[in-house]
Amino acid sequence: MKIYLSIFLLSISLGSIFAQKPVEKGLNSITERDAKASVGFLASDALQGRGAGALGGEIASEYLASYLTSLGIQPLGDTYFQPFEAYSEDFKQKKRYQVNPDSIAKYKQGVHRVLNLRNVLGMIPGVNTNEYVIVGAHFDHLGMDPNLVGDQIYNGADDNASGVSAVMQIAKAFVESGVQPQRNVIFAFWDGEEEGLLGSRYFVQNCSFINQVKGYLNFDMIGRNTDETNPTHVVYFYTEANPAFGQWLKDDIQKYNLQLNPKYHPWDNPVGGSDNGSFAKAGVPIIWYHTDGHPDYHKPSDEASKINWKKLVEITKASYLNSWNLANEKTY
């Protein structure tokens, strides 16, 4: 009798698995274990704060390219890397780095500095090859400061290893769904954000299909609590002209019982804050997840041990569902 009961229960379990919709297969692949693995590596002392143009940042980019390779996701171009240079005037001028060709031409005429950077870009081709959506986060942080007393490494666990982990898990979830999205889905890891949104700005300036990008979803700091009494808080920015973006999250929180209490923030011109600004200025509708600042912002104390893992996973699940809609809904 016990054998028959076991077989019966197994058949029910297998039946429920096979009955899962593709979107749910992807959703169930998002785990706290994977979040801890990616954030733990990216925010480790070994990467020395992932400074833009520094060795730690280069290692981080190799890690992300290897991850896309392991998923079988193809590079956007000939390789996963989009190299670029950013220029600034000499140190005493304290001017921000630029990727605009006119600024670069000006700086080259005098004493200048240069950063050699590279974005990491992969893509799952869609059924409709003429439309794109992009899911992105910056992987660089502030590097090291040898003049600091004590801890000299800006680990950047929340800023922005947390956001990078979300993009990584969303990429895996699309693969695990087992179906081809309707639109091309680009997974983007930006370099040089801390120096002035350099990676996303360079991409947008040089993107031949920018007018075919239907939406951009951005992450920047999604693993901490500003108010420890409200651990489910998240700010959900989105382009006001696309009210469907707000409704998607409301519906998915209820449908999948996600433990989030978003502050919905429709924005008529979402050009500030993070890499979303680069796309908004180009007329691309955006979604941006952010959990506000905290006492460890831009300090060496922003370490993986302080991440709220459950919150990070819930935001990743919610944003995967957003990404699924961006990639598959006919209109929004």
pLDDT tens readout for residues 197-240: 999 999 999 999 999 999 999 999 999 999 989 999 999 999 99
Q: What amino acid occupies position 328?
A: N
Q: What is the pLDDT of residue 147?
A: 96
Tokens of 235: 């700010």
Alpha-carbon gap, residue 161 to 302, rounded angstroms: 10
Nearest Cα to 139, choosing from 6, 42, 15, 8?
42
DSSP 8-state code for residue 260: -
Q: How far apart are CA 56 and CA 49, in angstroms?
A: 7
Beta carbons of 163 and 228 less than 8 angstroms apart? no
- Give residue 2's pLDDT: 47
Exposure on the CB side of residue 146, measured as CA atoms within 13 A:
0
Tokens of 202: 């360079």
Tens digit of pLDDT for each residue in 114-170?
A: 999 999 999 999 999 999 999 999 999 999 999 999 999 999 999 999 999 999 999
- The answer to which of 12-26, 34-48, 194-208, 235-249 has the lowest mean pLDDT is 12-26
Q: Which two tokens stand for residue 69?
A: 């390779």
Tokens linked to 127:
């059924």
Residue position matching structure tokens 């000299």 = 152
The C-alpha atoms of residue 282 and residue 271 are separated, in whole angstroms, by 9
Whole-number Å distance between alpha carbons of 40 and 17: 31
Query: How many other CB atoms are there within 10 angstroms of residue 149's CB atom?
Result: 5
Q: How confident is the model at residue 19 (pLDDT cuts 50, 70, 90)?
A: confident
CA separation, residue 145 to residues 150, 153, 199, 301, 303 (Å): 10, 7, 23, 13, 16
Q: What is the Cα–Cα distance from 123 to 101, expressed in whole angstroms? A: 27
Which residues are within 8 A (CB) of 103 and not within 5 positions of it... i.e. 6 or more apart? Answer: 87
Read off the tokens for 56.
């730690």
HSE-CB at 307 with a 13 A cutoff on CA atoms is 32
d(CA 127, CA 102): 38
* The predicted structure's pLDDT at residue 12: 40
DSSP element (H, E) containing 243: none
Tokens matching residue 130: 């003429």
- In angstroms, the CA 213 to CA 220 distance is 20
Compute the mean pLDDT over every residue in the chain, rounded to the nearest whole number. 94
Instruction: State yes or no: pLDDT of 16 exceeds 90.
Output: no
Residue-wise pLDDT tens digits, 281-318: 999 999 999 999 999 999 999 999 999 999 999 999 99
Confidence of residue 90 (pLDDT cuts 50, 70, 90): confident
- The pTM assigned to this predicted structure is 0.93
Q: How confident is the model at residue 93 (pLDDT cuts 50, 70, 90)?
A: confident
3-state secondary structure of 298: coil
Going along the chain from its start, the domains and CATH numbers come out as 22-84+117-328 (3.40.630.10)
User: Degrees (nearest 5) of the Cα angle 239, 240, 243?
Assistant: 100
Average the pLDDT over 48-57 and give the result: 98
DSSP 8-state code for residue 19: T
Which pLDDT score is estimated for 18? 52
Residue 101 in 3-state DSSP? Answer: helix
Give the helix/strand (H/E) hosting 113. strand 112-124
Q: What percent of the chain has pLDDT over 90?
A: 90
The pLDDT of residue 77: 96
Q: State the helix-helix crossing angle for 32-42 and 309-328, rounded to 10 degrees.
A: 100
Estimate to the nearest angstrom the gap between the alpha carbon of 193 and the chain centroid.
12
- The mean-pLDDT minimum among 71-75, 82-86, 102-106, 262-266 falls in 102-106
Q: Is the pLDDT of residue 173 over 90?
A: yes
